[in-house]
Amino acid sequence: MLRDEVLALLKGQEGYCSGEEMSRRLGVSRAAVWKAIAALRQEGYEISSAPNRGYQLQHSPDRVSVGELQGALAGRVIGRELLCLDTVDSTNNEVKRRAVEGAPEGLTVLAGQQTGGRGRRGRVFVSPPGGLYVSVLLRPNAGMRELMWLTSWSGVALCDGIERCCGIRPGIKWTNDIILDGRKVCGILTELGMEGESALSQYVVVGAGINVTQTEADFGPEVAPVAISLAQKLERPPRRAELAAAVLTALDEMRAAFPHEKERYLEQYRRDCLTVGREVRLLRGDRMEEAVAEEIDEDFQLVVRFPDGRRETVYAGEVSVRGMLGYV
């Protein structure tokens, strides 16, 4: 849309940008540029104008749009095709629908609210307004063993993006929860698309839901004790567009590094993981066992020790791990 292109130009300009220059660069009339400026102002963008100088962006509302992200993601694979929605059933679902239609690697879907958000093992993922919900499409050339690392790699990337944008680094509850002050600030869901006849992977969807501006009331009484938003931790929470740019950049760096920079991501995951050293409960269906989480192995799986001294490698798809003291 022209509005997004005009916004991208304004965001990439330090000073004023004339209407004539914008019309020339975009190949449209000056009247069309003026209409786009008027539409942006109606959306809450503060844009000053001066005779013989043009327009300058002074202030941006908390909106996520193609125009907000275009400049920050220029030259990246992730984000080269962007879809920004107010509401969707699930950003992962939207990416999967487009993946089977042949969408290119890097397709990114962002939303301000999900009506059917999902977590691991089919759990409901509460997705109220005020969060940032994002999914990206990857088509990695890797074997099944390496593909199983992607959830952990994505956890590191999400921590990288939040730290760059907010100045604080959260931790990771094995395997896919991002934790801040003992409560969940972000969840990750990776989904693999397989080809039926060959059993080869066709695509991977990496989805994340980050709590940005929600309050306890937004989470509700059941979720509030175990969830936290960035606004509850920071004096000034980031604009969601700025957070999206940082997170998508970190995910693109992860995409480029996968799987050959394994040691770097494994080392960082081990530093970020809050589960190691804690007592945990392993839930296998209706059966529960208590153990101590001892280490993360070479495949990003959790190694635990039971009271009788037995050690076991726990795989994310087999059990649910709950901390016995606090959320982690």
Annotated binding site for biotin: 90-92, 114, 118-120, 184
Neighbours of 320 (CB within 10 A): 16
N- to C-terminal Cα distance for the chain? 44
* Residue 122 CB burial class (10 angstroms; 0-12, 13-18, ≥19): exposed
Nearest alpha-carbon partner for 79 in 112, 105, 108, 111: 108
Phi, psi of 309 (to 5 degrees): 95, -10
Helices then strands, counting H and E runs in the chain, come out as 11, 14
Binding-site residues sit at 90-92, 114, 118-120, 184
Residue 175, preceding peptide bond in cis (omega within 30° of 0): yes
Cα(183)–Cα(170) distance, integer angstroms: 10
Cα(161)–Cα(169) distance, integer angstroms: 9
